[in-house]
Every structure is written in structure tokens, then in C-alpha cells.
Amino acid sequence: MTKEILVIDDNSDIRLLISEILRDKGFIVREAANFDQALNEINKKLPDVSIIDVKLDKGDNDGIELLEHIKKIDDDVPVIMISGHANVQMAVDSLKLGAFEFIQKPFSPERLLNFLNRAVENVELKKEKRALENKLFHSYDIIGKSQSIEKIKNLIIKLGNTESRIFISGPAGSGKELVARQIHKNSSRAKKPFVVVNGALLDPQK
């Protein structure tokens, strides 16, 4: 499937040059020339990868604002930051906020394409990982239609909507982890990792 790249740069020459390079390689390209256009494009539809200039028309770090905005919507979308006025702190700040890579202008087409291809691969790997996890996760279903089982299912739905801590107790093999997985599946954190910790391996002194 052809990937869609959003190129955001207020320098028309650079924006068009990057777009031509990407289109020549078969990518679908959308463009934005300023902060407001970029915000509109992002809100309309998230791209597979975004290339953002740090400094646009709005201020010195408005590209960073767009990076943060994208990450709030979907943290998995890779963002490559570019700048002609880069310094080490700017690069560090961008990477801390979730940028996939930071490139200083001028850069070669090969360098840009290398990072872009790595970003696309990163997206695909995350999608494959999520698909496998979902397949595994959804294989844990509570079976049965008895009154007791239905009561448990209804309780799980109620607990999934709460932000409170939940303590599940019972003898070994009674299905504590299964219930915990179902609560997680029905919660607002369903897209977050479900982590299993073996209590028997924990050091009580730590």
C-alpha cells in the first residue's frame, strides 16, 4: 500500500523539492505551507509519516507544536523534524517529544529517503506487533452462559469503566489473569500494553 507523507515547510522551494523527491519514489504527498494549513491537514487526516520544519510562520518552535499535536492524536505516527537553524538542544528536545529523527538542512535526498524508509518500516512493524497482540489478546475469552458467568461478565464491563485499582483474588487456575485481561480489554487503556508480572519471582525485600 502506498504511504502518504505530509510535508510541512514555509519555504516553497524546499517544500516542492522534498515533495518531488518523494513523488518520484512513489509516495503520495500532501503539503502545507504554514502552521494553520498544517494543523488543518493533520486534523483532516493523519499521514503515515510527517516531515516538519521546526520554524514556520507562527514562531520559532511552531513545528514542535505540530509534533506534539500529532503525538497526542496518535503516538505511532513517525515525525521527521528538519531545520536550517538547528542546534543540539533543539534536536534533543524534538527527540524527547517523540520525533523519529531530526535532520539539519541542507541534506541529501538519499539521507532523507533513508530516514523516511526507516520510518515507514517502523510503522509497519508496530502495526504487525499490534495485530499479533490483538490476536493473542482476543483469544482470551470467557466462555459459558450460566448465571454466575453472566454476572462476572457484567461486573467486568462495569469495572472496565472505572479508574479505581482492582484486586482480583482466587486460587491458582481460577482465571484471575483471564478476568484481568477482560477488564483491560473493556477499559480506556485497551490500546496500552497489558503487563503480566509473576509475583512469585519478586523479591519481598525490594
d(CA 183, CA 199): 20
Q: Are 107 and 179 in a shared domain?
A: no
Higher pLDDT, 1 or 44: 44
CATH of the domain at 33: 3.40.50.2300
Q: Are 145 and 175 in a shared domain?
A: yes
In order of 67, 154, 176, 177, 191, the CA distances from 86 in angstroms are: 16, 55, 52, 49, 35
Assess if residue 19 is contained within a domain: yes
Report the chain's mean pLDDT, rounded to a whole number.
Answer: 86
Structurally, the chain folds into a number of domains equal to: 2
Q: pLDDT tens digit string along 5-27?
A: 999 999 999 999 999 999 999 99
pLDDT of 27:
96
- The secondary structure of the chain as a DSSP string is ---EEEEE-S-HHHHHHHHHHHHHTT-EEEEESSHHHHHHHHHH---SEEEEES--SS-TTHHHHHHHHHHHH-TTS-EEEEESS--HHHHHHHHHTT-SEEEESS--HHHHHHHHHHHHHHHHHHHHHHHHHHHHHTT------SHHHHHHHHHHHHHHT--S------STTSSHHHHHHHHHHTSTTTTS------GGGS-TT-
Whole domain around residue 78: which residue ranges? 4-131
Q: pLDDT tens digit string along 102-155?
A: 999 889 999 999 999 999 998 888 877 766 766 665 556 777 788 888 888 888
pTM higher than 0.75, yes or no?
A: no
pLDDT of 134:
63
pLDDT of 169:
86
Domain boundary among 76, 97, 131: 131
Most confident of 29-38, 50-59, 143-152: 29-38
Q: Are 174 and 90 in a shared domain?
A: no
Q: pLDDT tens digit string along 149-189?
A: 888 888 888 888 888 888 888 888 778 888 888 888 888 88
pLDDT of 147:
86
On whether the CB atoms of residues 90 and 54 are closer than 8 A, the answer is yes
pLDDT of 200:
62
pLDDT of 192:
79
Q: CA nearest 7: which of 149, 17, 182? A: 17
In the predicted model, what is the mean pLDDT of residues 193-202? 72
pLDDT of 175:
80
Q: Is the confidence at residue 206, as pLDDT, over 80?
A: no
pLDDT of 128:
79
